[in-house]
Amino acid sequence: MKARCNTREWPRNAWFAIAFATAVFFASSCAESATVRSIASGRPGLSVILIEGRLDGGETLSLEALVSKLPLSTTIAVVLNSPGGALFEGMKLGRFFHHARIPTFVLGYGGVCASACAIAFLGGRDRDGRPSRTKMFNSNLGFHQFRRDHGTDPNKKFSKANI
């Protein structure tokens, strides 16, 4: 006897498998996504905001929402601890830090700010608009290294016009 494939059963099982795989993917993605939260500074008039985790998008909006609830006289500082993520989100965060004149810090004692986070870090400014970026003790700040490949022949000479 031949085994029969139940054609009515397959689509239901396939959709279940796809839904399960999607749920696992989003659950793992959400676990890694950055959180934006206020932490106790111990000083009145100072709000310290921690951005921690992978920059997947939406962190700038979360930060703007948090900052909009603070009194205008509040001094704001942002501490970063992120392996990076979406380049455009890092650029948006950096622009927000720059325009809102928010100083940036890399979390100390093993904290990391790399890739898109490092781009955001560069936007840090003080109240007078001067650069204000601080790498805390024993933290890591990482930028990408770029290399231009001029071809595979190492003996080929290039002129200014070629480059």
pLDDT score, position 75: 96
Domain spans of the chain, in order of start? 32-142
C-alpha–C-alpha distance, residues 44 and 21, integer Å: 47
Q: Which CATH superfamily is domain 32-142 in?
A: 2-enoyl-CoA Hydratase; Chain A, domain 1 (3.90.226.10)
C-alpha–C-alpha distance, residues 85 and 57, integer Å: 8
pLDDT score, position 149: 64
* Cβ atoms of residues 104 and 93 within 8 Å: no
pLDDT score, position 98: 98
C-alpha–C-alpha distance, residues 35 and 83, integer Å: 13
* Cβ atoms of residues 50 and 79 within 8 Å: yes
C-alpha–C-alpha distance, residues 84 and 64, integer Å: 19
Low-confidence ranges of the chain (pLDDT < 50): 1-31
* Cβ atoms of residues 93 and 66 within 8 Å: no
Task: Determine phi and psi for 51, rounding to 5 degrees.
Answer: -110, 115
45: left (phi over 0), alpha (psi -120 to 50) or beta: left
pLDDT score, position 44: 92
The pTM of the full predicted model, rounded to 2 decimals, is 0.71
